[in-house]
């Protein structure tokens, strides 16, 4: 990242606004796929703004839709989870031309997502084909025997992005991933400042 891009990115991030370099916007041919994962509810507006700017034809969320609400542990927060997930789904399903996949995580509730989503595809994990690209999608990173073009996952900070036997692995916790499906180029955006620090703090708190 150029120094000037870095400065713009940091400044805008403070106000929950994404900075997408003009070079990326000019380079995108589409169709565009957006991959996100483990999203705290505080960054929803940041994500919605990215969707408004790049207008992806496909969105894949690899789980823990309201990551700050550890529903697997705190079942008494189900109403709060429902409220926040409703906000996320409404924002992601704003554009009729966007096809959306929700790959549920360990802190998600199937019935909630099913009842709130009007047109999303709800998955546990598996292989999907989009625009002649094969994806293995799951909340957890897993070894698999089938040949795919991309492996999309979240849940943890590891493994990082990698290439393994011509499969590109992208961790949606580390970055917001943009894939141009026509060229198969990958562009990565940072989450807002402090997002990963808060995730680490929450992980430590839950593990105590």
At 107-120, the pLDDT tens digits run 999 999 999 999 99
**CATH number of the domain encompassing residue 115:** 3.60.21.10
* Residue 165: half-sphere exposure toward Cβ, Cα within 13 Å: 7
What was the pLDDT predicted at 182?
96
Cβ pair 78, 194 in contact under 8 A: no
Burial class, 165, CB count within 10 angstroms (exposed 0-12 / middle 13-18 / buried 19+): exposed
Cβ pair 109, 81 in contact under 8 A: yes
Please give the Cα distance from 88 to 91 (Å, whole number).
5
Copy the structure tokens of residue 126: 């598996």
Please give the Cα distance from 5 to 97 (Å, whole number).
30
Please give the Cα distance from 88 to 83 (Å, whole number).
9
- Predicted confidence (pLDDT) at residue 208 exceeds the cutoff of 50: no
Q: Which residue has the higher pLDDT, 36 or 16?
A: 36
| Residue-number span of the structural domain to which 143 is assigned | 3-207
| CA distances for 131 relative to 61, 126, 151, angstroms | 18, 17, 15
What was the pLDDT predicted at 56?
97
Please give the Cα distance from 104 to 125 (Å, whole number).
8
49-103 per-position pLDDT tens digit: 999 999 999 999 999 999 999 898 889 999 999 999 999 999 999 999 999 999 9
pTM value is 0.91
Q: Please tell me the total count of domains within the chain.
A: 1
């Amino acid at each position: 990242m150029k120094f000037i891009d870095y400065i713009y990115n940091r400044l805008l991030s403070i106000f929950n606004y994404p900075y997408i370099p003009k070079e990326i916007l000019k380079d995108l041919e589409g169709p565009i796929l957006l991959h996100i994962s483990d999203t705290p509810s505080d960054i929803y507006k940041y994500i919605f703004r990215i969707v408004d700017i790049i207008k992806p034809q496909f969105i894949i969320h690899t789980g823990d839709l309201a990551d700050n609400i550890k529903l697997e542990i705190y079942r008494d927060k189900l109403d709060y989870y429902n409220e926040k997930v409703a906000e996320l789904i409404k924002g992601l399903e704003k554009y009729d031309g966007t096809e959306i996949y929700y790959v549920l995580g360990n802190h998600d509730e199937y019935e909630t997502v099913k009842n709130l989503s009007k047109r999303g595809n709800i998955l546990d994990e598996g292989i999907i084909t989009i625009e002649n690209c094969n994806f293995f999608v799951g909340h957890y990173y897993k070894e698999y025997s089938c040949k795919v073009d991309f492996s999309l996952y979240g849940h943890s900070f590891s493994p990082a992005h990698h290439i393994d036997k011509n499969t590109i692995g992208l961790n949606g916790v580390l970055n917001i991933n943009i894939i141009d499906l026509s060229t198969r180029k990958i562009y990565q955006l940072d989450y807002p400042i402090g997002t990963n620090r808060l995730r680490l703090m929450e992980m430590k708190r839950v593990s105590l």
